Amino acid sequence: MGDAAQITPGAHRELGLTDFEFDRIGELIGREPNEVELAMFSLLWSEHCAYKHSRKLLRRLPTEGERVLMGPGENAGAVSVGAGWALAFKVESHNHPSAVEPFQGAATGVGGILRDVFALGARPIAVLDSLRFGELDSERSRYLFERVVAGIGHYGNSIGVPTVGGEVYFEAPYEQNCLVNAMCVGLAPAGRLVRSAASGPGNVLVLLGAATGRDGIGGASVLASAELEEGDEKRPSVQIGDPFEESKLLECCLELLDRGLLVALQDLGAAGLTSACGEMAAKGRVGIEIDVERVPLREAGMAPFEVMVSESQERMLAVVEPRNLERVLDICARWETGAAPIGEVTGSGRIVVTRGGDVVGDLEVAALVDGCPLYDLEPAEPEGWIYPQPAADPELGGADRGALLLALLASPSVASKEWAYEQYDSIVLSHTVRRPGSADAAVLHLAEAGATVAVAIDGNGRRVACDPYHGTVEAVLECAQNLACVGAEPLGLTNCLNFGNPEKPHVAWQLDRSVRGLADACRALGVPVVGGNVSLYNEAESGPIYPTPVVGMVGELADPRRAGELALVAGQRIALAGPFSPSLAGSELAKLRGALGPGLPRSDVERAGAAIAFVRDAVRAGDVECAHDVSDGGIACALAEMAIAGGVGARVHLGPLAELRGCSGEAALFGEGAGGFLIAGDAARLAALGAAAQAAGVDFIELGSAGGDRLLLDAPGGDVSLSLAEAERAWRSLGERMGKPA
């Protein structure tokens, strides 16, 4: 077949294919694949592309809703925000590249998620990120943290898309496998949304954007192993992002869509042309023929398989009717965006790769895209705590409760992330109503759509490790609570499931239970899952990461002027709303004491959902001026964050909570769990809210008031008394630990 080289025995194993899968390929195509075909199969049958260990589980998720315009299966999901406008959004991982080269790994992760969104025809308007690193006292973790933040800031700031929110955790199991998850939100006229399915035999395939190099070829380089020793020209390189190239590509694609010149559009991300061609052909039930000699190359002498699997950034694949080709090329030239016709849509149901006039690959689309075997997991619940215990802080042994609060506020996972988000432009495009650090969710006013939306991203791998089901339920509830704190009602959810090796029974059990928790929580709250990503095999010799499902949620609110915020104001009354039942199990304090173990309190999703709706309505009505969900570090940390934001002290009494929940004073202060809100406002309005909460069956406890310059928390067995200045110094300490002022 043409000039495609035949493969050496065992090459498939080095590409990640099992003997069973290689034999299956032979059965499907009726012969042994050549090097081009094997490279294509190795990528589309990889876990990253095929979801072969998770696809069956993902069928549990609720995906339909009256506002859903596009669900799973497209480049991103999309929901209606009214008046003919759509909000597109998705979250994806770039974990392994970021561990190898953190700056470019994070930068290209942002670039890739932006392309996923504008591949639908939506203009990106916001980015959020969810990051995990090893403990901050590790030199490697500090380096990764610094370079990942720099990469995110570089790409987002350069392309002019604000980074409006996110989260960062530091835990030992992420030492060798950092997690870099990026979420993008985009806005589009609903009528401009475009799908990725190729159609119309005879239509032209046009490759848009940057030239193709050997970026990200990775394992497929074994197919050229004989030449690797001869020089560096054949070696795979880390993907390099160019935000200015992507900016031109973005504007060019949106203009082409505005003018109705594209039939379909697909991002070139993982697996490059192989994935783009395969997915477009499969969705459209058509064939595709592509000539690799017509692909603009950045490096001379690339083999056909390299062209097909390159992951060079800033590229899109479009389907164009022949009559529109010249107009498309003219617009691309005006935007100084590369554009090359490289093939056409056919009715054959096959992907045919040629080099000049020679066929170097010829595969049935169904075999390549849908033929990958899907595996059943073999889950088994582990006995006891399977992760190393974190080192206990020796200074906490006899510490009073004030010292415990200072230690928690200084803990890198709880401390202010201002050092990171101050490196991001959060207000470019002028949509941002609530900046990072000012509220529990980002708030964006979209004047062109006459809508205001909120966005949040959440997850806590340590708590999911304690209980995969209830920890995941908590993550969904926390995201919905964050939206409620600004007065927003959820419209849809996206997720990124970061886990270890699913072939190991305990990881399979974590994944199975987590997906079940995600499905149950979304169904109970009525929130559809419109898309997401799965990242597996995140582990090293030291063991797997914590199971880390990350959820991103978008919602809408009526009046941006009434969007809730964090800052307390002197004279406000403070109350606790919701079915919050504090427990030290899996908490940040348990971690600092080196006392983690399996088990979390059960989350009452129905009661939490009622509290979410209650707080959301109160914020919208203006009855609550300040709202914050109770999460890491418990009520004590949540109150301190509100006080620091407002520059005012507070005094609260936690005895009634401890009595109601039957918990210790220490748990009332520092315990964690789902469903709790600290809310503040005018005394008369808060009293009226208490009566309304009782009628609605929502737990409501008045705790105290804001004022003075100290944090005073009364609890059974010992109180907390700290100056606001002491608390703020501890909370802002992360920047100093990074060697820079916060």
> Which residues are tagged catalytic?
48, 94
CA–CA distance, 268 with 264 (Å, rounded to integer): 13
Cα→Cα distances 429→92, 189, 323, 379, Å: 23, 17, 36, 47
Q: Provide the β-strand partners of residue 108.
A: none
Backbone angles phi, psi at 442, to 5 degrees: -75, 140
Which of 608, 556, 619 minimizes the C-alpha distance to 187? Answer: 556
CA–CA distance, 429 with 444 (Å, rounded to integer): 10
CA–CA distance, 76 with 681 (Å, rounded to integer): 39
Which of 383, 385, 376, 605 minimizes the C-alpha distance to 512? Answer: 376
Tokens describing residue 591: 């971690």
Sheet with 179-189: strands ordered across:
68-70, 77-82, 85-93, 179-189, 123-133, 163-170
CA–CA distance, 316 with 299 (Å, rounded to integer): 19
Backbone angles phi, psi at 195, to 5 degrees: -95, 170
Tokens describing residue 612: 């979410």
H helices present in 285-338, as ranges: 304-309, 325-334
| Residue 206 near residue 339, CB atoms below 8 Å | yes
Q: 734 burial class (0-12, 13-18, 19+ CB within 10 angstroms)?
A: buried
Residue 575, helix vs strand vs coil: strand
Tokens describing residue 568: 């307390």
| Residue 122 near residue 167, CB atoms below 8 Å | no
| Residue 244 near residue 311, CB atoms below 8 Å | no
H helices present in 160-208, as ranges: none
Residue 739 CA neighbour count, 13 Å, CB half: 7
Count the Cβ atoms, other than its own, within 10 Å of residue 657: 26
Residue by residue, DSSP assigns 262-292 as -SEEEE--TTHHHHHHHHHHHHHT-EEEEEG
Tokens describing residue 420: 């990171």
| DSSP H or E segment with residue 660 | helix 655-661
CA–CA distance, 66 with 492 (Å, rounded to integer): 10
Q: CB within 8 A of 10, min separation 6: which ones? A: none
Which of 155, 70, 71, 78 minimizes the C-alpha distance to 123? Answer: 78
Count the Cβ atoms, other than its own, within 10 Å of residue 385: 14
CA 312 to chain centre: 22
